[in-house]
Amino acid sequence: MQDNIIVGRAKGPGDASNEFKIITPDNKRMKIGEFVYYLQGRENKEKVLCRIVSRKAVRLYPDEFMSDPTISPSLITSMMGVESEHLYEVSATILGRYDDNFGFLNPRIPPDPGTEIYLAENEYLEHVISRKKRNDIGSAYVGSLLNRDEGEVKIFLDVAEIASKHLAVLAATGSGKSYTVGVILEEIMGKNNRGSVLVIDPHGEYGTIDEMRNNKEYEKELCEVKDSYKPEVKVISPNDIHIRVSDLEWGDWRSILKDASDKMLNILRNVLYPLRKKNKNFTVDDLLEEIRSRLGERGEYDESSIRGLEWRIDEYIGKRKIFCENGRMTEKTTSLRDLFAPGQITVLQMTEHEEDDQQLIVSVLLNRLLRARIRTEKKMDVDEDMKIDFPVFVVLEEAHRFAPHFGEARSKYVLKTILSEGRKFGIGVCLVSQRPGKLDGDALSQCLTQIIMKIINPTDQENIKQSVESITADLMKELPALTKGQAVVVGEAINTPVLMRVRKRYTKHGGASQNAPEQWVKKCSKEEKERRERDKAPLKKETCPIFRF
């Protein structure tokens, strides 16, 4: 792009203290979200960057000139010798002069009236918008500036900020939410980051991440030839997700054993503590044996309460899939060391689990992860399968299930604890939701970087407005108008809010909508009908040959 392109002149102060107005004839480049600058300082060499937040016309063709649609109004103005150039009044927010050490330094004084306003150059924008540059350790190339041609101004997120201060990806259904998360995962698992990532996948959308291992384009762009680095990918199916009863917290027991009386819960509490001290990996049989041993004891250990507790443990735990394997109670558990390793991404597919079980799985895993990271960081004794001596990143798809705005969920308390305190212990979280209005506001406010795509629902918009401090009113207005693959990016992982076009993925997108008409037409084709007829046809019986002598 050509340097020093003048696109307008400053008119005067704006409605807010950090805003000013610009008069411009440029209707094509002076769009909302575009970046411009003016010069100040010694010899007028310091660039003060500004972002356009609103615009309106101040001079257009008179209505009478357009009364006949067959005649161009520009022809009328030329015949009359009238000035035909349109003028627009644009409001811009002052971001400041960029300093490599301190970021944007706001001059706090708008430009003088008549000051020349320039369109920011591509190279300058890429330098000041992103904290990280291509091939930096901790960089993630996620897209390019929306108001410029694709790839002209690349957007790089700071993965260190995401992994320590959390990320939220919010969008209405079909806006490209899971596609964008896939782009982020490709980058986090690339050679510049080599992350340790767990994806909680309720709908089975992220199984295609497995393509990282054999995708030639991904290997070329994001793998390292020198040390043969390729990310390890594990996709764990619902049948392979197990929880030991000994891993359950007291709150889990209380919520699982529905309508248990106070007497029953008191028995269970008095049994669990000594049993856990005696055998930290106890089974259901060990628990039931300990409960039965209380029969005949004086006090609250009456037979009816013990029998009722036994029945509930069998009904609510003994018959649940996550505690069983091949119809029998399992002593297996989903090991943290299997889930987490540097350079490894694990996708936990929970498509066959009820929402209640999904919450329980997340609650147990996050509790174990938090305990493991705390004990490891504090140099405390920890079992080998609980020793996680590196930071981790957890992606929660359908986050509103696990931390709902209204009501409770088993996973809500530990998730909010990790969001508020996890950064001290090296646990980062990415909340992904298509209904931010249903997501707990406190949980959302702890995510200090946000990628927000098309949002139309007023309730969702309001929760974003209340929970995301760094999003401004002008960017909120843009949310309903965004199209698929476009997003507002704000927060700690980037120097200033931007409108972004998400880059193309290397791996296949697993959450794409099905094309119903295409499949219906295929099913009605002649070939499909013949195939169905063949499948319905009875098998021909084999007959033994008759030999005559």
Q: Are residues 361 and 493 in the same domain?
A: yes
Phi and psi angles of residue 358, each rounded to the nearest 5 degrees, phi first: -60, -45
pTM: 0.86
Residue 89, domain member (yes or no): yes
Predicted pLDDT at 547:
43
Cα 197 to Cα 340: distance, rounded to the nearest angstrom:
7
Q: Are residues 455 and 318 in the same domain?
A: no
Of 296, 329, 362, which residue sits at a domain end?
329
Residue 129, domain member (yes or no): no
- Give the number of domains in the chain: 3
Place of tokens 């649940």: 320
CA 321-324-329 angle, 5° bins: 150
Q: Which two tokens stand for residue 96?
A: 């400041």
Q: Are residues 416 and 453 in the same domain?
A: yes
Residue 13, domain member (yes or no): yes
Cα 176 to Cα 404: distance, rounded to the nearest angstrom:
22
Q: Are residues 293 and 349 in the same domain?
A: no
Say if CB 454 and CB 428 are below 8 A apart: no
Predicted pLDDT at 511:
61
Q: Are residues 367 and 413 in the same domain?
A: yes
Predicted pLDDT at 514:
67
User: If DSSP codes are grouped into helix, strand and coil, which group holds residue 236?
Assistant: strand
What tens-digit pLDDT sequence spans the chain (549 residues)?
A: 567 899 999 999 998 888 999 999 998 999 999 999 999 877 778 999 999 999 999 988 888 888 888 888 888 888 887 666 789 999 999 999 999 888 899 887 889 999 999 999 999 999 999 999 988 999 999 999 999 999 999 999 999 999 999 999 999 988 999 999 999 999 999 999 999 999 999 998 998 899 898 889 999 989 887 888 999 999 999 888 888 888 888 888 887 887 888 888 888 988 898 888 888 888 888 888 888 887 666 555 678 888 888 888 888 887 777 886 544 545 566 788 889 999 999 999 999 888 988 999 999 899 989 989 998 888 887 777 778 999 999 999 999 999 999 888 889 999 999 999 988 999 999 999 999 999 999 999 999 999 999 999 998 998 898 888 888 888 898 999 999 999 999 999 999 999 999 999 999 887 666 667 877 778 888 787 877 777 777 765 555 554 443
DSSP string, 95-160: EEEEETTTEEE--SSPPPTT-EEEEPPHHHHHHHH-SS-TT-TTEEEEEEETTS-TTSSEEEEEHH
Q: Are residues 413 and 473 in the same domain?
A: yes
Predicted pLDDT at 522:
80
Predicted pLDDT at 243:
84
Q: Which amino acid is at 202?
A: P
Predicted pLDDT at 239:
85
Q: Are residues 289 and 352 in the same domain?
A: no
Predicted pLDDT at 252:
83
Residue 140, domain member (yes or no): no
Q: Are residues 324 and 345 in the same domain?
A: no
Q: Which two tokens stand for residue 111?
A: 């430009």
Predicted pLDDT at 139:
96
Cα 339 to Cα 194: distance, rounded to the nearest angstrom:
15
Of 305, 329, 353, which residue sits at a domain end?
329
Query: Closest Cα to residue 374, out of 330, 445, 427?
Result: 427
Of 120, 135, 167, which residue sits at a domain end?
120
Query: Closest Cα to residue 173, out of 398, 353, 350?
Result: 398
Place of tokens 């698992």: 189
Across-strand partners of 20?
13, 92
Q: Are residues 425 and 446 in the same domain?
A: yes
Q: Are residues 407 and 477 in the same domain?
A: yes
Residue 541, domain member (yes or no): no
Say if CB 244 and CB 364 are below 8 A apart: no
Residue 531, domain member (yes or no): no
Q: Which amino acid is at 78?
A: S
Cα 220 to Cα 217: distance, rounded to the nearest angstrom:
5
Residue 368, domain member (yes or no): yes
Predicted pLDDT at 548:
42
Predicted pLDDT at 542:
54
Which one-letter DSSP state was computed for residue 265? H
CATH of the domain at 345: 3.40.50.300
Q: How many helices (H) and strands (E) does the chain have?
A: 18, 20
Q: Are residues 282 and 414 in the same domain?
A: no
Query: Which H or E element spans position 393?
Result: strand 392-396
CATH of the domain at 67: 2.40.10
Question: How remote is the C-alpha of 399 from its chain's centroid?
Answer: 9
Query: Which H or E element spans position 90?
Result: strand 87-99
Residue 507, domain member (yes or no): no
Say if CB 317 and CB 256 are below 8 A apart: yes
Q: Are residues 235 and 263 in the same domain?
A: no
Task: Give the residue numbers spanning the domain of 265.
Answer: 245-329
Q: Could you tell me where the beta strands, DSSP code E, fall in 134-240? A: 139-145, 154-158, 167-170, 196-201, 232-236
Cα 292 to Cα 301: distance, rounded to the nearest angstrom:
10
